[in-house]
Amino acid sequence: MLLSDLYPLPNINRLVDGASGFTLLSFMDTYLLRIRMYLYNEPKTTFIIDSGTFCYKVMPFGLKNIGVTYQRLMDRIFKDVMGTNVETYIDDMVVKSTMANEHYNALQRVFEILRKHQLKLNLEKCSFGV
């Protein structure tokens, strides 16, 4: 039996309200289904089909704790910029600024962090400088 992870998610209303008053906003969406599973957890995802027995190497959609696991990851890797002009909610991020150079610098820092941790953006779901 898998227990629920009680890691707290941010209050979405607080995040939305916190974006008001900023003149530049960039909304980004990361690929949620890119978190490597611990090797010892892979057998727990085993499934059998006609062509063989398989297990997941990355967390598949539908796992009980995927949202809070991803939020914990985002909180950890963005801890130095979180709450200033960067906020995250599971796989969604917002960069908020009042000046263009500040916004550019914040985006650059976010991209560096994403690159360092080998996370990718889903560009079809991103909007920059709106």
What phi and psi, each to the nearest 5 degrees, are found at residue 92? -105, 145
Residue type, 38: Y
Whether 74 shows a pLDDT value over 90: the answer reads yes
Query: Considering the domain boundaries, does residue 79 fall inside one?
Result: yes
Query: Considering the domain boundaries, does residue 7 fall inside one?
Result: no
Query: Considering the domain boundaries, does residue 5 fall inside one?
Result: no
The mean pLDDT value of the chain amounts to 91
Q: How confident is the model at residue 14 (pLDDT cuts 50, 70, 90)?
A: confident
| Rounded-to-5 percentages of helix, strand, coil across the chain | 40, 20, 40
What pLDDT does residue 98 have?
95
Number of domains observed in the structure of the chain: 1
Query: Considering the domain boundaries, does residue 14 fall inside one?
Result: no
Whether 1 shows a pLDDT value over 70: the answer reads no
Query: Considering the domain boundaries, does residue 1 fall inside one?
Result: no
Q: Which residue has the higher pLDDT, 36 or 76?
A: 76
CATH of the domain at 73: 3.30.70.270
Mean pLDDT across the stretch 35-64? 89
Query: Considering the domain boundaries, does residue 30 fall inside one?
Result: yes
Q: How confident is the model at residue 88 (pLDDT cuts 50, 70, 90)?
A: very high
Domain of residue 112, residue span: 19-125
Query: Considering the domain boundaries, does residue 52 fall inside one?
Result: yes
Query: Considering the domain boundaries, does residue 130 fall inside one?
Result: no
What pLDDT does residue 17 have?
86
Whether 126 shows a pLDDT value over 90: the answer reads yes
Whether 63 shows a pLDDT value over 90: the answer reads no
Beta partners for residue 58, in sequence order: 36
